[in-house]
Amino acid sequence: MPKPAANVALIGCGRISGHHARALAVVPGARLIAVCDLVEDKARAYGAEFSVPFHTDYREMLARHPEIDTVAVITPSGMHFEHGMEMLEAWGKSVIMEKPTFMRPEQLDAACDRASELGLHLFPVFQNRYNKAVARVKRAIDSGELGAVRIVSVRTRWCRPQRYYELAPWRGTFAMDGGCLTNQGIHHVDLLRYLGGEVERVNATMRTLGADIEVEDTVVATFTYAGGQVGSLEVTTAARPDDFEASISLVCANGLARIGGIAVNELLEFTPDPAACAECCEDFSRSVYGNGHAKMYRDIVAFLTDGTPYPVSRADCLSTIKLLHAFYRSDEAGGWVDVDSPAQSARLGRPDEALADLYRTPCPDSDR
């Protein structure tokens, strides 16, 4: 049997990790080698379900399984930088980084610089780009079928009650999670520039309306693109009693594209080719996380096998993280801000050593 292009280990066996493990079971050229979680029961359950060894200490896992060449970092978002850098620098592993990739733009730069110095790779996860509806609209924009984009509108109305934030200490914190825009809305922040173009200026208002947390659970914003187009965004996890929609629509010179469903998974209107609507609807009723992880692993294998460019480049990812930050900076400034600015949000991704300590793998000589 040929050697797999990617021998993958998972760090973090939480809510999203099953999508990685299931994808790895079906993608030729990628193989799950081992899993790890600080919580032994979680690691054991994943190990049993996917018939691989489990560990609670990723250092022990990496030492025991030297064939691992790629690590999927699926830990709390505020730990991605620390865990990712250790994988690159101390272990020489390429990294698959769950969204939002990193909490701050300079972390992406530092990790990408280090990866390229070491001849390693960093693969950001934005799996909603693979949704059939999103892919069809992207093709229509790139080919000119839809014509120039004029207005982009994002609307995400999901329900995350207090008990969701109480699932783990990292949730609902600026250091480790960010609010509805960083956790749930990052996919739509990414899509509004993936489909609409680069955003130049943002004016956002954030509120916490439905839960007792320090981060926002509601954002409304307007924004302007470098090309003159305009947009609006409403993202909330304060909708009750259920998740209702995650939508993006684009008014373009040659027609309208409206993507909706629970997680941008249904092409609801597409005037250049109305028949495409039926073909580009996917059933996400089993999971809002969709079907994109397997397609992402296929792209990782293609990149590692024959150099086919991975679809999320460093520049692409950096623009999404800078845009994410601009929404927070605007709320902090109380008005319009430029996206392309070295300024940083004072809140998103701020250090919190006590929280970080909860998610650090103890060193053998520490007394924890």
The yes or no reply on residue 190 touching ligand NAD (CB under 6 A) is no
The yes or no reply on residue 280 touching ligand NAD (CB under 6 A) is no
Q: Report the relative pairing of strands 255-260 and 149-157 from DSSP bridges.
A: unpaired
Among 6, 8, 11, 339, binds ligand NAD (CB under 6 A): 11
Among 70, 94, 107, 127, binds ligand NAD (CB under 6 A): 127
Q: Report the relative pairing of strands 266-270 and 255-260 from DSSP bridges.
A: antiparallel
Among 35, 38, 318, 326, binds ligand NAD (CB under 6 A): 38
Which phi and psi (to 5°) does residue 152 adopt?
Answer: -120, 130
Give the three-state DSSP class for 350: coil
Q: For residues 358 and 169, is the Cβ–Cβ distance under 8 A?
A: yes
Q: Which residue is nearest to ligand NAD (CB)?
A: 14
The yes or no reply on residue 174 touching ligand NAD (CB under 6 A) is no
Bond into 100 cis (ω within 30)? yes
The yes or no reply on residue 15 touching ligand NAD (CB under 6 A) is yes
Nearer to ligand NAD, 11 or 252 (CB): 11
Q: Interface residues for ligand NAD in 143-172 (CB under 6 A)?
A: 168
Q: For residues 130 and 296, is the Cβ–Cβ distance under 8 A?
A: yes
Nearer to ligand NAD, 31 or 129 (CB): 129
Among 7, 173, 319, 361, binds ligand NAD (CB under 6 A): 361
Among 70, 75, 265, 291, binds ligand NAD (CB under 6 A): 75
Packing angle, helices 105-117 and 80-89, rounded to 10: 10
Q: For residue 146, which amino acid is it?
A: L
Smallest separation (angstroms) from ligand NAD to the CB of 173: 12
Q: For residues 223 and 231, is the Cβ–Cβ distance under 8 A?
A: yes
Nearer to ligand NAD, 6 or 38 (CB): 38
Among 74, 122, 204, 277, binds ligand NAD (CB under 6 A): 74
Closest by CA to 126, choosing from 304, 279, 313, 302, is 313
Judge residue 150's burial from the number of C-beta atoms within 10 Å of its C-beta, 0-12 exposed, 13-18 middle, 19 or more buried.
middle
The yes or no reply on residue 98 touching ligand NAD (CB under 6 A) is yes
Element (H, E) at 66: none
Binding site for ligand NAD (CB under 6 A): 11-17, 36-39, 42, 58, 74-77, 79, 98-99, 125, 127, 168, 183, 289, 359, 361
